[in-house]
Amino acid sequence: MPTMISIIAKHQLPNTAVINTLHLAKHKGCVTILFSDYGAVEEKLQAIGLEPALFSYIIDAPTLGGLKPNKKVIDKLFTTTNTNPKNTLFIGDRVDKDGAAAQAVGAEFWNISST
């Protein structure tokens, strides 16, 4: 994981629009959840210039017992965060993982790889 983090830090620039959106969401009281299939999430966030404090929750799927799009794992995410999938927008770059996770629980999905 340290190698991955150093590569991310070297090649990924901070995204001002994402940072501004997260600040606005926090200011408006929105719950923001970073849900990753991999560990060292906070370290990776810092490597791309995002402060972990911008998120209400930072959760990696293995701590919930599996990987996306396993419905049991996604259900546990909503139970853990006391949130409702019907009021959720999954934002991700993989239809087969992020999109399928959203679909499994009836949430909306925004595919950022197509924008």
pTM of model > 0.75: yes
3-state secondary structure (DSSP) of residue 48: coil
Task: Classify domain 2-114 at the CATH superfamily level.
Answer: HAD superfamily/HAD-like (3.40.50.1000)
Beta-carbon neighbour count of residue 5 at 10 Å? Answer: 16
Q: What is the pLDDT of residues 70-114, one digit of tens each?
A: 999 999 999 999 999 999 999 988 999 999 999 999 999 999 886
Inter-residue contact 33 to 61 (CB < 8 Å): no
Domain ranges of the chain: 2-114
pLDDT interval class at 69 (50, 70, 90): very high
Inter-residue contact 92 to 114 (CB < 8 Å): no
Of 58 and 1, more confident: 58
C-alpha span between 76 and 101 (Å, rounded):
12
**Bond from prior residue into 69 cis (ω within 30 degrees of 0):** yes
